Structure 1
Amino acid sequence: MSKPQFASTGDMGEKNVSFDRIGEGLYAYTAEGDPNSGIIEGDDCCMVIDAQATPVMAQDVIKRVKTVTDKPIRYVVLSHYHAVRVLGASGYPDAQIICSDAAREMIIERGQQDMDSEIGRFPRLFQAVESVPGLTWPTITFPDKMTVWLGKREVRLQHIGRAHTAGDIIAHVPDADVVFSGDLVEYHSACYCGDAHFTDWPTTLDNLAAFKARALVPGRGAPLTDAKQVNDGIAMTRDFLSTLYGSVQDSVKKNYTLKQAFDACKAVMDPKFGKFAIYEHCMPFNVSRAYDEAKGTAWPVIWTAERDREMWAALQG
C-alpha cells in the first residue's frame, strides 16, 4: 500500500462549486468538501460568513453574490481564526471584519504559525497565495454575543462554546430560522480537530441543536435544508467526535504510544468515516490533539509547518 501524501498536497483536482439558495436572501457557497462560505442579504447590504483562503478566491464568492443582488458586502464574519477561512478577507476592502474576542486572541497567539502551516497543507486551496497581504485582523470583536442589523434584518452572532477552536461563533438569522455554523458541524466531511476541545464540543453541539434551525450551513459539505437534515448533520458530527475521542481515551488508559493510539483509532474510524472529505488529511492531526487532551493538555499545542511534517512522518510515514 502506498503511503498517503502529506496532508492535502496530493489533492489538486478541481471542485465543483455550488451556490444554493437556502432561504429568502440566504445562500450557501459550497465546493464538495472544501471550506464553505455563507451569504446573508439584508435590506441595504450583505454579510459574508467566512472569507475563503485568499483574496483571489474571494472574488468567486463576490461574483456569485452579484448574480443575486447589487447590494454591497459591508460585513465579513469569521467563524474562527484558521487561515483557510480568513486570509481572503482583504478581497472585501469595504467590509467590516468581525470575529470573537477569543478568535482575535488566537490570531495574536498563533496566527502566523497557522498561516504557514495551512498553506503548506493545502496548496490547492491557497490559489494565488501571493495575493495575501498578511494576517487578517478584525475591525470588530465581541466576547459572547453581538447583533448586526442589515437594514431591518437581524443577524445574531454568538459564541456558544468551545469546539473546533476556542473562539468559534455561529451566525443565526432568526427571521428565517437559519444558522451558519462554521466548523462546529461538518456534513460528510471529516472534522478537523487539531485545535479542538473534545470535552467541550458535545455540549456546544447541544447548544447548537437547541436553536432548532430550519436550515444550517456547515463548515464543509452540502447545506442542510430541513430540520431532519440539520439534526442528522449534528448527529453525524457528534458520532465522528465521540468515536475518535473515545478510542484515543481508551488508548491512553492502556498506555499506548501516540503511534499505537493512531493505528487503533484508524481501525475503528475507517469503516464509518473513511470516505469523508479530507479524512486522511485530518486523522493524524486529530489523533495527536485527542491524545494530548486525554493526557491532560487542556490548551491545544500550536501547529507549525515543521511540527506538521514531523507528526505526519511519525504517524503516516
Structure 2
Amino acid sequence: MSTPSFASTGDLTEKKVSFTEVGPNLYAYTAEGDPNTGVIIGDDSVMIIDAQATPAMAQRVIEKIRSVTDKPIKYVVLSHYHAVRVLGASAYGASEIVASEKCRGMIQERGNEDWASELGRFPRLFQAAESVPGLTWPTMTFNGKMTVYLGKRRVELLQLGRAHTAGDIVAWVPDAGVMFTGDIVEYHSACYCGDAHYNDWPATLDAIARYNPKSIAPGRGDALVGAEMVQAGLDATKDFVTSTYNAVAEVAARGGSLKDAMTACRAACDHKFGNYAIYEHCLPFNVARAYDEALGIENPRIWTAERDRDMWAALQG
C-alpha cells in the first residue's frame, strides 16, 4: 500500500463555488468543503466574515459581492486566527478588521507558525501566496460581545465559547435570524480539531442553537437554510466532535499509543464521516489534539511545519 501524500498536498482539484442568499442581503460564499466566507450587506456598507487565505482568493469573493452590491466593504471580521481564514484580508480595503481579543493574542503567539504549517499542508488554498503582505492584524478587538451597525442593520459579534479554537466568534444578524459561525459548525465537511477544545465544543454548539437561527453560514460546506438543515448541521458537527474525542480519550486513559488512538478513531468515525470533505486531511491532527486534551494538555500545542511532518510520519508508519 502506498503512503498517502502529506495532508492535502495531493488535493489539486478546483472546487465549484456557490453564492447562496441565506437571508435578506446576507450571503454565504461556499466551495464544496473549501473555506467559506460570509457577506452581510447593510444600509451603507458591507461586512465580510472570514477573508480567505490570500488576496488573490479574496478577489473571487469580491467579484461575487460586486454582482449584488456596490456598497463599500467597511468591516472584515475574523471568526478565528487560522491563516486560511485571515491572510486574504488586505484585498477588501476595509477600514476595520475585527476579532476577539483572544484571536489577536493567538495571531501574536502562533500566527507565523500557523501560516507556514497551513501553506505546507494545503497549498491549493494559498493561490498566489506571494500576494499575502504579512500577518493580518485586527484593528478592533473585544471580549464577550460587540455590536456593529451597518446603518440600521445591527450585527452582534459574540464569543459563545471555545470550540474550533480558543478565540472563536460568531456573527448574529437579529433582523434576519441568521448566524455566521465560522468553523464552529461544518456541513458534510470534517471539523478540523487540531487547535480545538473538544470538551467545550458541544456546549458552544448548544449556545448557537439557543438563538434558533433560521439559517447558518457554516465554516465549510453548504449553507444551512431553514430550521431542518440548521439542526442537521448542528447535530452532525456535535456527533463528529464527540465521536472523535471519546474514541481517542478511551485509548489515552488506558495508556495506549497515538497510533492506537488513530485506529480507535477510525473504527468510531470512518463509517459515519469518511465521505466528508477533508476527512483524511483532518484526521491525524484531530487525533493528536484529542490525545493531548485527554491527557490534560489544556492549550493546544503550536503546530509547526516540522511538527506536522513528524506527527504524520508517526501515524503512517
TM-score (norm 1): 0.99
Cross-structure match for 2:96: 96
Alpha-carbon offset, residue 4 of structure 1: 1.8
State the identity as a percent.
Answer: 64
- State the number of aligned residues: 317
Cross-structure match for 1:250: 250
1:50 paired with 2:50, answer: yes
Distance in 1 separating the partners of 2:129 and 2:86: 13
**4+ aligned runs moved over 3 Å, structure 1:** none
Distance in 2 separating the partners of 1:303 and 1:153: 39
Distance in 1 separating the partners of 2:208 and 2:304: 31
Distance in 1 separating the partners of 2:93 and 2:65: 15
Q: Does structure 1 retain, via aligned residues, the 8 Å contact 2:76–2:94?
A: no
Alpha-carbon offset, residue 252 of structure 1: 1.2
Distance in 2 separating the partners of 1:316 and 1:205: 32
Alpha-carbon offset, residue 254 of structure 1: 2.0
Cross-structure match for 2:202: 202
Cross-structure match for 1:113: 113
Q: Does structure 1 retain, via aligned residues, the 8 Å contact 2:73–2:93?
A: no
Cross-structure match for 1:302: 302
1:158 paired with 2:150, answer: no
Q: Which amino acid aligns with 1:225?
A: V
Q: Spell out, residue by residue over 1:1-26, the C-alpha distance to the aligned partner (whole angstroms, 9 max, x if none).
A: 33221111010011100011111100
Give structure 1 stretches of 5+ with no counterpart: none
Distance in 2 separating the partners of 1:60 and 1:182: 19
Distance in 2 separating the partners of 1:150 and 1:282: 36
Cross-structure match for 1:235: 235
- 3-state secondary structure, aligned to 1:135: coil
Q: Does structure 2 retain, via aligned residues, the 8 Å contact 1:284–1:316?
A: no
Distance in 1 separating the partners of 2:106 and 2:20: 32
Distance in 1 separating the partners of 2:249 and 2:35: 29
Give structure 2 stretches of 5+ with no counterpart: none
Cross-structure match for 2:125: 125
Q: Spell out, residue by residue over 1:31-63, the C-alpha distance to the aligned partner (whole angstroms, 9 max, x if none).
A: 000000010000000001000000011111111
Q: Which amino acid aligns with 1:288?
A: A
Q: Spell out, residue by residue over 1:200-236, the C-alpha distance to the aligned partner (whole angstroms, 9 max, x if none).
A: 1111111011010000010000000001110110000
- 3-state secondary structure, aligned to 1:125: helix
Q: Does structure 2 retain, via aligned residues, the 8 Å contact 1:100–1:143?
A: yes
Q: Spell out, residue by residue over 1:163-204, the C-alpha distance to the aligned partner (whole angstroms, 9 max, x if none).
A: 000000000000000000000001000000000001111111
CA RMSD of aligned residues (A): 0.7
Alpha-carbon offset, residue 95 of structure 1: 3.1
Q: Which amino acid aligns with 1:255?
A: G
Cross-structure match for 1:69: 69
Alpha-carbon offset, residue 265 of structure 1: 1.0
Cross-structure match for 1:80: 80
- 3-state secondary structure, aligned to 2:64: helix
Distance in 1 separating the partners of 2:272 and 2:87: 33
Q: Which amino acid aligns with 1:7?
A: A
Q: Which amino acid aligns with 2:6?
A: F
Distance in 2 separating the partners of 1:159 and 1:252: 30
Distance in 2 separating the partners of 1:124 and 1:299: 29
